[in-house]
């Protein structure tokens, strides 16, 4: 997938994104979150490199205790329209 920086910049300015848009941002290296989350700070995409034990990309979340863990999307998250870029 080719990432268009202009599209990334436009999406980063939005506050009510669909998951499809959030996934585009994840592929571009951004961290994303939902506005209603209280225990999770953000979701990010981990891409394997030559030293990785994992051979495929996966999503992980970082909760408020800063201990990353694998993340599986829920139906609520999948169809939500309140995704946005995480700003630390």
Asked whether the beta carbons of 35 and 82 are under 8 A apart, the reply is yes
**Would you say residue 14 has pLDDT above 90?**
no
Q: How does pLDDT run across 31-87, given as a tens digit for each residue?
A: 999 998 999 999 999 999 888 888 999 999 999 999 999 999 999 999 999 999 999
17-28 pLDDT, tens digit per residue, is: 999 999 999 999
Question: Can you give the residue range of the structural domain that contains 32?
Answer: 5-85
Strand partners, 51: none
Query: Nearest-CA neighbor of 56 among 68, 66, 48?
Result: 48
Q: How many domains does the chain have?
A: 1
Beta pairing partners, 62: 42
> What pTM, to 2 d.p., does this model score?
0.90
């Amino acid at each position: 997938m080719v990432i268009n920086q202009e599209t990334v910049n436009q999406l980063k300015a939005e506050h009510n994104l669909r998951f499809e848009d959030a996934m585009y941002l994840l592929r571009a290296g951004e961290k994303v979150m939902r506005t209603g989350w209280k225990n999770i700070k953000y979701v990010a995409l981990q891409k394997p490199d030559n030293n990785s034990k994992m051979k495929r990309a996966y999503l992980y979340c970082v909760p408020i205790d800063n201990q990353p863990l694998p993340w599986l999307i829920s139906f609520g998250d999948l169809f939500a329209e309140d995704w946005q870029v995480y700003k630390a």
